[in-house]
A and B are shown apart, each in its own frame.
Chain A
Amino acid sequence: MNAPVVIERPGPATPKTAGAPGGAHREVHARPEDFKQRSHESVNDPHLRSSFRGAMDFLIERRAVHFSDLVAFETLRKLGEQVRQHALSKLPELLDQLEAKLTELGVHVHWAETPEDANRIFLDIAQRHEAKLMVKGKSMVSEEIELNHVMADHGIECLETDMGEYILQLDGDRPSHIIMPAIHKTKQDVAEIFHEHIAGAPLTDDVNELIGIGRKALREKFGAAKIGVSGVNFMVAETGSIVLVENEGNGRLCTSVPDVHIAITGLEKVIDKLEHVVPLYALLPKSATGQAVTTYLNVITGPRREGERDGPREMHLVLLDNGRTQAYREERFRATLQCIRCGACMNHCPVYTRVGGLSYGTTYPGPIGSIISPHLVGLKSTRDLPTASSLCGACGEVCPVKIPIPEMLMKLREAGRHSITQSMTPPTQALVGQGEVRAISEAMAWRGWRVLYSHAFLYRLFAWFAPRLRWLTPAWQGGWTKSRTPLKPAPKSLRDMMADRDKRRR
């Protein structure tokens, strides 16, 4: 789902200095391995801090208006959870049903195990049609496979038509939010980007004028493109329909003007029945942008039929796995796939709010990204993502389909630190990167901790010595003392005080 980009948010209007995170005119190479470095830079960037805080507060308030009745919200989200859990409980059957239905409707269904497979499918279709230009509506899965870059390598322009994504594409930047991809850009940034990249665009920071400039530049491209690309919000097994939720109308143009429509999505997006769209749609825009409904809700059931005057003549659906079956296979991680990509968990996350989306170095940032990315790219490169949470629970509380995100984070921490044989309750198969985050020092520290805390005699000895030896406390205690004074045992322990009390009473 895309969002109205015309959100004027608070925050300083001064242009960023080059080199700052999210700064203009930079090709951003995303690597989750760099999370610590990038988050360090981000928290020390006052501009980024205040603009993200302002934007997230704005979104939180807009959402809260719709869910002020917490009991009603709970009822609705339980229904949303049911719809998604039900679909996942019979995922293989539903996918078979969906494929049969789509084939009957004349839609070509393609299965892609990896991003490379998916790109090859796109390339084949494009080459068959001798297409040099594709217009694309907002799709995070196309980001996941880096479609634009791969097509460009083969001389095919894949143009973003979602305004936020278009701004980023012009600037060579990446999305920092799954719903509001350009939320890290100010209107001044956008003014400069348009002025530099769109011929004849005047330098203005009037938001309506900017949107007008962008829309005009894009409008000419829809008719010129042979292929239109879109994402998918929900796929309905019962009817073979593809549901697309959007605000700008570019999604409708991409899926109806060009001769060929290629939709791409993750294979978990299937739902059983058309009526199941109702609760999910009641949850999605409210959770995402705080809108009761979006401007457009497209339900696409097959290509142009005989006698019809518009719509694509050829339609394809690319279903991507890319690690999703791992999350599906392991019951403890299956809820990850319930996600409907609303982004509410990001908006409410105190960590995301401070580091911004680009710090994560993954397609999906924020809490949901931290539980999905380890399945997509492995536990090792994403080692710092599941730990980048205070487990405050804000994400789980607002999730419209009740994904227990904090619990998933803990389970991923465990999976990274324990091989199958070391696990208390091992998964059915090793995850990609299972146990590869284990550091001997950390494992030994917890073992020592366990020995001390599970033997009352040892612990009482420790608790007797600690207050008496508190002068030995080191002044430097790693990350803790960065902004805090050292942790010191109390001058008198609670158990000493309780012992004194018992003596007095005797």
Chain B
Amino acid sequence: MGVTVHFPRNQTCCGQPAYTTGFPEEARKVAAAQLDLFPEDWPIIVPSGSCGGMLKHHWPKLFKDDAVLQAKADSLAERTVEFTDYVVNVLGLQLPAGGKPTKVALHTSCSARREMGTLDIGRAALGRLPGVELVIHDHESECCGFGGTFSVKHPDISSAMASDKLESIRKTGCDALVSADCGCLLNLNGSLAKRRDTLRGEHIATFIRSRMDASTEGTA
């Protein structure tokens, strides 16, 4: 697609786990250590929606007492784009017709859907993949029960949410489950494995890639 991907090796974590658990100062220090890693005026693509939301909406809030750091955080926030958003709206993803018919269930991370608008974007991305049929599961907009440390602090409630989510996804008879959020995928896949279910959630990037590979093989 003609894009060069740069991966600054010194990046670590967006800090969301500490931030949402009530340790904003720890999150601030982790964020502060990364403010200089993206100096060029390039978009910053985040392949996990809720991490993207953290950069875009919460990093600027962490540096209210320091104008210089705040300016850096603002610049990062402005350039932060969720992966699917970039692929659909900037690169204009469109695959040639003739992909293998596949029924796909889409799970959107709650914070990403609300902060980054990933529901419409995720649906749009799947719509650009010929042969892919989106199946809507019951209570689609409901949380999968991950919630970072919530999943460990309240395992009973979290597990009940994950289990309901997987049951409604399974009821659709889908062939694949995709999501653009790594946290949700950890939770859903860990739960699927524990249930000895053969289904595994795939990151939407992986899914798009496999459709691209299949379509080039088809045309070769």
Asked if B158 is an interface residue, CB under 8 A from chain A, the answer is yes
Contact between chains at B143 and A498 (CB < 8 Å): no
Report B164-179 CB contacts with A as 1/0, cut-off 8 Å.
Answer: 1000000000000000
Q: Known: A388-B157, A410-B19, A454-B32. Is A484-B190 also a contact (CB below 8 A)? A: yes
Query: Which A residue's beta carbon lies closest to that of B193?
Result: A485
A471 to chain B, nearest CB (A): 17
Contact between chains at B114 and A393 (CB < 8 Å): yes
Question: Which of A355, A392, A413, A486 has the most chain B CB atoms inside 10 A of its CB?
Answer: A392
Asked if B151 is an interface residue, CB under 8 A from chain A, the answer is yes
Asked if A200 is an interface residue, CB under 8 A from chain B, the answer is no
B8 to chain A, nearest CB (A): 9
Question: Which of A350, A478, A486 has the most chain B CB atoms inside 10 A of its CB?
Answer: A350
Contact between chains at A456 and B149 (CB < 8 Å): no
B138 to chain A, nearest CB (A): 10
Contact between chains at A390 and B147 (CB < 8 Å): yes
Report A167-180 CB contacts with B as 1/0, cut-off 8 Å.
Answer: 00000000000000
A45 to chain B, nearest CB (A): 11
Asked if B107 is an interface residue, CB under 8 A from chain A, the answer is no
Asked if A428 is an interface residue, CB under 8 A from chain B, the answer is no
Contact between chains at B114 and A424 (CB < 8 Å): no
Query: Which B residue's beta carbon lies closest to that of A43?
Result: B160
B33 to chain A, nearest CB (A): 4
Report B142-153 CB contacts with A as 1/0, cut-off 8 Å.
Answer: 110111111111
Chain A residues near B111: list those with CB within 8 A.
391-393
Complex CA distance for A49 and B7, rounded to whole angstroms = 46
Please classify the interface of chain A as helix (H, G, I), strand (E, B), loop, or mixed, using the class held by over half of its residues.
helix
Contact between chains at B157 and A39 (CB < 8 Å): yes
Which one, A40, A449, A495, contacts B156 given CB within 8 A?
A40
Please classify the interface of chain B as helix (H, G, I), strand (E, B), loop, or mixed, using the class held by over half of its residues.
helix
Asked if A466 is an interface residue, CB under 8 A from chain B, the answer is no
Contact between chains at A495 and B154 (CB < 8 Å): no
B54 to chain A, nearest CB (A): 11
Chain B residues near A454: list those with CB within 8 A.
12, 29-30, 32-33
Complex CA distance for A54 and B169, rounded to whole angstroms = 19
How big is chain A's contact interface, by range?
Answer: 35 or more
Contact between chains at A43 and B156 (CB < 8 Å): yes
Q: Restricting to B106-163, which residues have a CB under 8 Å from any CB of A? A: 110-111, 114, 141-143, 145-163
Q: Known: A354-B161, A397-B114, A454-B32. Is A390-B146 also a contact (CB below 8 A)? A: yes
Contact between chains at B12 and A416 (CB < 8 Å): no
Contact between chains at A479 and B30 (CB < 8 Å): no
A497 to chain B, nearest CB (A): 9
Contact between chains at A483 and B159 (CB < 8 Å): yes
Chain A residues near B194: list those with CB within 8 A.
483-485
Complex CA distance for A394 and B145, rounded to whole angstroms = 13
Query: Which B residue's beta carbon lies closest to that of A351?
Result: B157
Contact between chains at B158 and A390 (CB < 8 Å): yes
Chain A residues near B78: list those with CB within 8 A.
none
Chain A residues near B32: list those with CB within 8 A.
454
Contact between chains at A479 and B21 (CB < 8 Å): no
Which one, A39, A44, A450, A494, contacts B154 given CB within 8 A?
A39
Contact between chains at A450 and B18 (CB < 8 Å): yes
Contact between chains at B10 and A393 (CB < 8 Å): no
A421 to chain B, nearest CB (A): 12
Contact between chains at A390 and B110 (CB < 8 Å): yes
Contact between chains at B191 and A484 (CB < 8 Å): yes
Contact between chains at B157 and A43 (CB < 8 Å): yes
Question: Which of A384, A446, A460 has the most chain B CB atoms inside 10 A of its CB?
Answer: A446
Chain A residues near B20: list those with CB within 8 A.
391, 410, 413
Complex CA distance for A413 and B26, rounded to whole angstroms = 14
A262 to chain B, nearest CB (A): 39
Query: Which A residue's beta carbon lies closest to that of B33?
Result: A454
Asked if B90 is an interface residue, CB under 8 A from chain A, the answer is no
Complex CA distance for A387 and B26, rounded to whole angstroms = 18
A143 to chain B, nearest CB (A): 24
Asked if A111 is an interface residue, CB under 8 A from chain B, the answer is no
Query: Which A residue's beta carbon lies closest to that of B31?
Result: A454
Chain B residues near A390: list those with CB within 8 A.
110, 143, 145-148, 150-151, 158, 161
Contact between chains at A456 and B110 (CB < 8 Å): no
Contact between chains at B28 and A460 (CB < 8 Å): no
Contact between chains at A460 and B9 (CB < 8 Å): yes
Asked if B186 is an interface residue, CB under 8 A from chain A, the answer is yes
Chain B residues near A414: list those with CB within 8 A.
22-24
Q: Can you give 18 contacting A-B residue pairs, CB < 8 Å?
A: A36-B156, A39-B154, A354-B157, A387-B150, A388-B157, A389-B147, A389-B150, A390-B151, A391-B148, A394-B143, A414-B24, A416-B22, A446-B23, A450-B18, A482-B155, A483-B163, A483-B191, A484-B194
A interface, CB within 8 angstroms of B:
36, 39-40, 43-44, 49, 350-351, 354-355, 384, 387-394, 397, 410, 412-418, 424-425, 443, 446-447, 449-450, 452-456, 459-460, 478-480, 482-487, 494-495, 498
Closest 4 CB pairs of A and B: A390-B147, A413-B22, A484-B190, A479-B155
User: Given A354-B160, A389-B147, A454-B33, 8 other A-B contacts at CB below 8 A?
Assistant: A36-B154, A390-B150, A417-B22, A452-B12, A456-B10, A482-B156, A485-B193, A495-B9
